Structures are given as C-alpha cells and as structure tokens.
Amino acid sequence: MDEKSGYESEEALLELDGVRKYFSQESGLLAGVQFEPSQFPPVSVDRETVKAVDDVSLEIQPGETLGLVGESGCGKSTLGRTILRLLEPTDGDIYFKGENLADLGGEELRQTRSDMQMIFQDPQSSLDPRMKVGQIIEEPMRAHDMLDDEGRRARAKELLEKVGLDPRHYNRYPHAFSGGQRQRINLARALSVDPDFVVCDEPVSALDVSIQAQVLNTMEKLQEEFGLTYLFIAHDLSVIRHISDRVAVMYLGHVVELAEKEELFENPQHPYTRALLESIPVPDPRESGPRGVLEGEVPSPVDPPSGCRFRTRCPRLIAPDAYDWSEEKWAQTRAFMRAVKRRTFEPMPAARIEAEFFDDTLPRGEPGSVVEEAIDLVAADRDAGEDRDDEVERWEAATELLLEAFAERSICARERPAYELESEHGSGKHAAACHLHR
Ligand SMILES: Nc1ncnc2c1ncn2[C@@H]1O[C@H](COP(=O)(O)OP(=O)(O)OP(=O)(O)O)[C@@H](O)[C@H]1O
C-alpha cells in the first residue's frame, strides 16, 4: 500500500479511457477567409480541428516502462502532455491511482501534480541558464513546500550523485555541462519531488548515440531505486527496445498496436508496426533484402481517414467483400489504384498499363469494368475525340473512381479495427487494430 494515498498497487497506476485531444486552429487557407458584410467584423476565418489524439485507451502498471513510438506528428507528445494535464483533454477520462484527475481539486491536485513529472527532449532549453544547478533541482521542492532550505540542499546534492553527477558541482551553471549531463540534471529535478510517474518525452534523442545508452541505463537504475513508472516517448525503435517493458505504437492519433516488448518486436501484427520495424537501418549491408518502405504521405490529422487510419498507406488493404476476386487480382488492382493516386507512372498506352499492372489480364466482372474505365482515363492513346478535360482532371477522375469503387468499400475504411490476439512471446495481452485479424 502506498502511504501517501492508500492506493493498492495491484491496480493500474494510470488508466486512460477514450482520451481525445483536439486543437482548433485557423485553416491556413486563403479560401478559409470569409467576407460577411452582415456581421462585425465583416471578415471571419475558418477554423479547423486537428485531431492530435483521438480516442486512446490504455493502462500503465506500477513500476513498468510503457514505450510510446510512432512517426513525428502522430500525437505522442500531445498524449504525454494531456496525461499530465498540461493540456486539458477534449474528451475521455484519465485515472491516476484510481482517481479521476478531472475530479481532483486543491490540495489533492497539487499532490498529484508532484507525483507526475515530465522530462523533455531538449535539455538545453529546459534549464534556465541563469540558475545554478542546485537551485534548478530545488525549484520543484520549493514550489511544493518540501523540506527546509538545508533539507532541500542536502537532497539536491544526494540526487546529483544518484543521477551520476558530482555533488560538488552544485554551484555550477548549466552551460558547464554536456548534453548528457544536462539531461541528468533534468532527471534530478524531476525526481526531487519524489514522483511515482514520469513522462519522458524523447529524453535521449538530442544526445549522441554513445551517450544515449548511458543515460538510459541511469534511468533504469533510478526506476528500480525509486520505484518509478515511465511513459517513454520516442521515435527511435532501438531506444524503445532498450528501455520498454511494453510498447504502444501510435499512428495519426490512434494506438494501433500494444504488446509486451519481445512480442511486439518478434511478432508484430499491424502492417504499420511491421513497416516501422523494417525501416530500421540494417547494420550489415549484406542483409539488405527488400525493405518495407512506408509509401505515401501521412494524411492530415484535420481530416484523418475513416476506419483504420493507416489504410491509405497500408500494403495489406483488404479487398472489398462486395466482389469476388483472387488475391493476385486484388493485389494488382491495389497497386494500380495507388500508382494512379500518386501518379507514379508516365502516360502510356492502355495495353501497356494492362501488361505492366495486370499481367495482361484484368479482374473479371464489375471490378474489371471499373479498372478498364480508369485505364481509359489515364492512357496515352485514349480517344482524342473525347479529350475534353485536361490531364490533371482525368487523373483525378480516375483516382476518385478507383478509390470509391475499391478503397472506400474495404472493411478497412468502414470500421475502426480493435482486436485482442494471442501472444507468442510472454503471457501479456497483444492488441492490434487491424482487420486482417477479424
Ligand atoms: N497547440 C497546437 N495547435 C494545433 N495543432 C497542434 C498543437 N500541438 C500539436 N498539434 C498538432 O497535433 C499533431 C500531433 O502533434 P504531437 O507534437 O503530439 O506529435 P508527436 O508525435 O509528439 O510529434 P513530434 O515527435 O514531432 O513532437 C500534429 O499534427 C501537430 O501539428
């Protein structure tokens, strides 16, 4: 039992239930500026909603490190900040030690704030250059009325030693320290108020690779010693692999896969996770087989795809149930649809498109007719008599035709996936948000 709160530690330390964080911002388009003479001021600007974190539910157990990984802009930092209430959630509940954070006020909230700390990526800018290291570490204790001057000084010196720095450097300024040492100062400051939970937002990504492992090792040692729970945010999979017990993979505001570390790395079940893992550079060039590349752009979080958010880039997009076709014909159609959408081939005669994309045989039945119509729109040898629209419009029309007939009818577009799988490694749960597991 935790003396401070009476909370029993078999429960999750932190529980997120349907957490959303949306930002409202100006649309940034000139077209979004409206002139409305009947109102004052007569000009209004369209606002759009950025769905940075969109319905995330997960639990973090006491003493564990949950790694949170995903490409830049997928919402990792926003989720971390929302958990700490540095940002107000748009929707959903966050329970810390069984208490809904939204229900806390006054002294309870103050106490909880000191129980949850955060360290940031850039150790340079998060340390005030005019303050001595000792003062920096003591600052949170002072803010929470912890100990007296002497007690704080003693604790700061002790913490300097614990994070691997020389306590005699208590009176130095941050500029006298290296990047790795500054991140250690940050750690000491976060730990000064004796937190249970620390959100670590890319804490080592600004450091040299050789220094990263040392700082990570110190973080692991401190976790053990202080009984800390970490939410560890990083885009670098090798860092995530080093430090995590379990890993959550985030894509465009959703958690798409969550499993124990070994299970996630050895038995990834979401095509996005697989693509991420395959994009890790291989140290041995002889091993460089075909690499799964993440094709296409990440869609905008203002207007994310329906259903599975990864579907617009997914190499395994599922064939629409409405048609009956072979795996081969669907794979060819999917490749053609993507190539038209991204305009990755030069105009060529219809027969060559059929040969290159479909091995000279189009799918049978209705899908075949749709494909034929699309080929006709983009082929170089199309009937000149019909050539009314310009080229861009024809490629757009072909894209729309293919997407509407195939991509939008896939289960991947129609339903948001969520499946619980058997783990091959370890006994933990394995969640994968992919309809391949339906
Ligand atoms: N204050 C804000 N106003 C509007 N949009 C925001 C705001 N903060 C973040 N966003 C947007 O929310 C999305 C998620 O951003 P976030 O910083 O959480 O991603 P991230 O995965 O941590 O990326 P990075 O690793 O680059 O920081 C992005 O599209 C970002 O542009």
Best residue among 26, 77, 254, 276 to mutate for probing ligand 1's pocket (most ligand atoms within 8 Å of CB) is 77
**Maximal CA-CA distance, the chain:** 90
- For ligand 1, the distance from its centroid to the CA atom of residue 162, given in whole angstroms, is 33
Which residues have a Cβ under 8 Å from the Cβ of 393 and sit 6 or more positions away?
none
- For ligand 1, the distance from its centroid to the CA atom of residue 308, given in whole angstroms, is 20
**Nearest partner of 431 among 299, 262, 276, 259, judged by Cα:** 259
- The gap from C-alpha 290 to its chain's centroid, in whole angstroms, comes to 25
Joined tokens for residue 115: 């129980």
- For ligand 1, the distance from its centroid to the CA atom of residue 46, given in whole angstroms, is 20
3-state DSSP percent of the chain in helix, strand and coil, to 5: 40, 20, 40
Atom of ligand 1 nearest to the CA of 81: 18
Residue nearest to atom 11 of ligand 1 (CA): 52
Atom of ligand 1 nearest to the CA of 78: 18
Distance separating alpha carbons of residues 352 and 369, to the nearest angstrom = 17
- For ligand 1, the distance from its centroid to the CA atom of residue 52, given in whole angstroms, is 6
- How does the average pLDDT of the chain come out, rounded? 90
Residue nearest to atom 28 of ligand 1 (CA): 73
**Nearest partner of 357 among 370, 375, 382, 373, judged by Cα:** 375
Best residue among 50, 199, 236, 251 to mutate for probing ligand 1's pocket (most ligand atoms within 8 Å of CB) is 50
Atom of ligand 1 nearest to the CA of 24: 4
Q: Are 127 and 182 spatial neighbours (Cβ–Cβ below 8 Å)?
A: yes
Distance separating alpha carbons of residues 185 and 113, to the nearest angstrom = 20
Q: What is the pLDDT of residue 256?
A: 98
Residue nearest to atom 2 of ligand 1 (CA): 23
- The gap from C-alpha 32 to its chain's centroid, in whole angstroms, comes to 29
The full set of domain ranges for the chain reads 14-27+47-244, 327-380+388-409
Q: Is 385 buried (19+), middle (13-18) or exposed (0-12) by CB count in 10 A?
A: exposed
Backbone dihedral angles phi then psi of residue 204, each to the nearest 5 degrees: -115, 5
Joined tokens for residue 270: 């979401």
**Nearest partner of 392 among 370, 407, 377, judged by Cα:** 377
- For ligand 1, the distance from its centroid to the CA atom of residue 298, given in whole angstroms, is 13
Atom of ligand 1 nearest to the CA of 80: 18
Distance separating alpha carbons of residues 347 and 356, to the nearest angstrom = 12
Q: What are the helix (H) ranges across 67-105?
A: 76-83
Q: Which residues of the chain have pLDDT under 70?
A: 1-10, 28-45, 123-124, 280-293, 383-389
> What fold characterizes domain 14-27+47-244?
Rossmann fold (3.40.50)
Residue nearest to atom 3 of ligand 1 (CA): 23
Residue nearest to atom 25 of ligand 1 (CA): 72
pLDDT in tens, 8-35: 656 899 999 999 999 998 876 555 566 6
Q: Are 183 and 215 spatial neighbours (Cβ–Cβ below 8 Å)?
A: yes
Query: What is the three-class DSSP state of 76?
Result: helix
Q: What is the pLDDT of residue 294?
A: 78
Residue nearest to atom 24 of ligand 1 (CA): 72
Q: Tell which phi-psi region holds residue 361, choosing left (phi > 0), alpha (psi between -120 and 50) or beta.
A: beta
Instruction: Count Cα neighbours of 74 within 13 Å in the Cβ-side half-sphere.
Output: 23
**For ligand 1, which residues put their CB under 6 angstroms from it?**
23, 25, 50, 52, 70, 72-78, 235, 301
Atom of ligand 1 nearest to the CA of 79: 18
Joined tokens for residue 212: 């990263």
Residue nearest to atom 16 of ligand 1 (CA): 75
Best residue among 78, 297, 300 to mutate for probing ligand 1's pocket (most ligand atoms within 8 Å of CB) is 78
Q: What is the pLDDT of residue 154?
A: 97
- For ligand 1, the distance from its centroid to the CA atom of residue 289, given in whole angstroms, is 34
- The gap from C-alpha 434 to its chain's centroid, in whole angstroms, comes to 16
pLDDT in tens, 160-191: 999 999 999 999 999 999 999 999 999 999 99
User: For the whole model, what pTM was predicted?
Assistant: 0.90
Best residue among 23, 120, 252, 272 to mutate for probing ligand 1's pocket (most ligand atoms within 8 Å of CB) is 23
- The gap from C-alpha 228 to its chain's centroid, in whole angstroms, comes to 23
Distance separating alpha carbons of residues 185 and 38, to the nearest angstrom = 57
- For ligand 1, the distance from its centroid to the CA atom of residue 51, given in whole angstroms, is 9
**Nearest partner of 362 among 325, 394, 399, judged by Cα:** 325
Q: Is 105 buried (19+), middle (13-18) or exposed (0-12) by CB count in 10 A?
A: exposed
Residue nearest to atom 8 of ligand 1 (CA): 78
In one-letter notation, the amino acid at residue 348 is M
**Nearest partner of 166 among 152, 149, 147, 185, judged by Cα:** 185
Which residues have a Cβ under 8 Å from the Cβ of 108 and sit 6 or more positions away?
99
